[in-house]
Chain A
């Protein structure tokens, strides 16, 4: 009995070792971003400058900053108004989308999940098909409608298509499926209307599905590249995600700091939303 237990332990150790090595592929970039933001400018120029064609020689990287400083971060936060504008553009484009999705998708999902009516299955199929279509397909239709409504080159060009995305409807529907029907029938007998039932019973019990949809939508919106790139020609409306991707690195320290500030909200949401994120992924793939 001893032998197999020992063998099992060794096996686990080996598996753990391999996973650890792979995990370094994730940890190292995060480490790079955190230490890079604390590195003084001259050290950045000397170490990674060559990679960006700013200095001679080859790149090298110090595991720790030789002289940690908050100076680049301070410069970013205090002296770079452009950065602030982009940051607030991102916020101003992502959160209206989330609020809109909550108002539009949650009631629709509730009806699709918990109410019986003819055509329910067909509608559900429709939402799934729309949800899985990539941007290549929705790009021209979105352009046509935004052009007709004169919304191109305004933040609404990013917000409105996001609000009416089919994706949160589907994820929230999966979440509401967990609400037991007898509870609803009891509420109906007590005379509660459909909106009240959704508010009083549906939202509290179906909140994991709603949060799943919102976490996934946040990550998607915060990382948006295609939509703003296509529909926002005016750089004044660009979100941080697009601006940073196009960065010409006038100031390495500021760029490093900006990368970290871009990362921070996403990591924060990830930290607290991870269970919902996993739930959302599973809802997309496998029947509950």
Chain B
């Protein structure tokens, strides 16, 4: 008993030692400055005079902020279902290629669809310009079909270019999650169903769909959180000053940052953090719910 106690004590000390560098860094670079951000959000621009919720009110009433929130919401509303649907179809397609003995090209396709995740945005900027410019490849194609060319970057069409770009780059990530979820469904279930005379659609409807539900919830929430990181794609499509249809929260933050408007910026950051915290806690609840 006494020995056991000292063993536990040793583990505690070891844990403290091993965690020390990471926790020090996290505290110094994230937690303390975030506390300061919360404080600043309640003070005036120089961080001296307490102003209560004035900054928050200024942010919420700001038209650019409203536009950015609306754009981000619109982006998520359009992008998320497409992302989930396409990645699921890709995953199921790759599964369907497999036979009991061979991969049947599934590996090549899996690698292919994951590849854009590894392609740096910077290396395809030039290509995107060639594709979407006024005299670019897509417009050449449209003109040859007898249609009018579209100004992809300067009109609302930019939104759809952003959606396509985001899907192109991130579908592979979700596909891997779907594949893992699908691979976890025991093959016995399908064999039993086949014995009972179920056809492909019935097996999908009554085995695949219900068993993929936990994956669905997690993929949805993770993808939702990832959508907030779509700035890189937007930057790829349109640079730092895009058409207003793809002006997102990050653009606004960058603008306010350039103006060194720290009070408003802090309030906005705290609000975004709060909204996302709710989502994240939801993921955590699902995750721990699964473990028990």
Interface residues of A, Cβ cutoff 8 Å to B: 11-12, 15-16, 18-19, 22-23, 25-27, 29-30, 32-33, 36, 48, 50-53, 57-61, 103-105, 107-108, 110-112, 115-118, 120, 123, 125-130, 132-145, 160-161, 163-164, 166, 169, 188, 193-195, 198, 219, 222-223, 225-226, 229-230, 240-247, 249, 255-256, 259-260, 262-263, 266-267, 269-270, 274, 277-278, 281-282, 284-287
In the complex, which of the residues A108, A244, A285 has the most CB atoms of chain B within 10 Å of its own CB atom? A285
Contact A16 B250 (CB under 8 A): no
Q: Does B202 contact A (CB under 8 A)?
A: no
CB neighbours of A58 from chain B (8 A): 135, 139-140, 143
Residue from B21, B111, B130, B272 within 8 A of A108 (CB atoms): B21
Q: Assuming A32-B127, A57-B135, A58-B139, is B176 touching A281 (CB within 8 A)?
A: yes
Main secondary structure of the interface of A (DSSP, over half): helix
Which residues, 88 to 136 on B, are CB-close (under 8 Å) to A?
90, 93-94, 96-97, 99, 104-105, 108-109, 111-127, 129-131, 133-136
Contact A128 B280 (CB under 8 A): yes
Q: Can you list 24 contacts pairing A with B, beta carbon distance less than 8 Å?
A: A16-B104, A19-B90, A33-B124, A33-B127, A51-B134, A51-B136, A59-B130, A111-B15, A132-B280, A133-B273, A136-B253, A139-B269, A141-B34, A145-B33, A160-B29, A164-B29, A225-B121, A226-B231, A255-B126, A259-B127, A263-B119, A274-B114, A285-B222, A286-B215
Interface residues of B, Cβ cutoff 8 Å to A: 7-8, 10-12, 14-19, 21-23, 25-26, 28-30, 32-34, 36-37, 40, 90, 93-94, 96-97, 99, 104-105, 108-109, 111-127, 129-131, 133-137, 139-140, 143, 168, 173, 176-177, 180-181, 184, 215, 218-219, 222, 225, 228-229, 231-232, 235-236, 239-240, 249-250, 253-254, 257, 262, 265-266, 268-269, 272-273, 276-277, 280-281, 283-284, 287, 290-291
CB neighbours of A163 from chain B (8 A): 25
CB neighbours of A263 from chain B (8 A): 119-120, 123
Contact B269 A116 (CB under 8 A): no
Contact A145 B26 (CB under 8 A): no
Q: What's the nearest-Cβ distance from chain A to residue B285, in Å?
A: 11
A116 to B10: give the CA distance in the assembly, Å.
Answer: 10
CB neighbours of B276 from chain A (8 A): 132-134, 137
Contact A137 B272 (CB under 8 A): yes
Contact A115 B177 (CB under 8 A): no
Residue on B with the closest CB to A124?
A: B284
Q: What's the nearest-Cβ distance from chain A to residue B52, in Å?
A: 19
Residue on B with the closest CB to A128?
A: B284
A110 to B12: give the CA distance in the assembly, Å.
Answer: 13
Q: Assuming A22-B90, A60-B140, A128-B280, is B29 touching A142 (CB within 8 A)?
A: yes
Residue from B36, B122, B181, B215 within 8 A of A262 (CB atoms): B122
Q: Assuming A137-B276, A263-B119, is B133 touching A59 (CB within 8 A)?
A: yes
Q: Assuming A115-B14, A140-B266, A163-B25, is B121 touching A219 (CB within 8 A)?
A: no
CB neighbours of A108 from chain B (8 A): 18-19, 21-23
A120 to B235: give the CA distance in the assembly, Å.
Answer: 39
Contact A240 B122 (CB under 8 A): yes
CB neighbours of B228 from chain A (8 A): 134, 136
Contact A226 B96 (CB under 8 A): no
Q: What's the nearest-Cβ distance from chain B to residue A259, in Å?
A: 4
Contact B222 A284 (CB under 8 A): yes
Contact A223 B14 (CB under 8 A): no
Residue on B with the closest CB to A108?
A: B22
Contact A12 B104 (CB under 8 A): yes
CB neighbours of B173 from chain A (8 A): 281
Residue on B with the closest CB to A283?
A: B180
Closest 4 CB pairs of A and B: A194-B14, A141-B33, A164-B25, A108-B22
Residue from A27, A51, A259 within 8 A of B122 (CB atoms): A259
A1 to B262: give the CA distance in the assembly, Å.
Answer: 72
Contact B37 A141 (CB under 8 A): yes
A61 to B11: give the CA distance in the assembly, Å.
Answer: 64
CB neighbours of A225 from chain B (8 A): 121-122, 231-232, 235
Residue on B with the closest CB to A118?
A: B12
CB neighbours of A104 from chain B (8 A): 21-22, 25
Residue from B109, B115, B140, B235 within 8 A of A245 (CB atoms): B235
A32 to B290: give the CA distance in the assembly, Å.
Answer: 45
Contact A135 B250 (CB under 8 A): yes
Q: What's the nearest-Cβ distance from chain B to residue A170, in Å?
A: 11
A122 to B112: give the CA distance in the assembly, Å.
Answer: 39
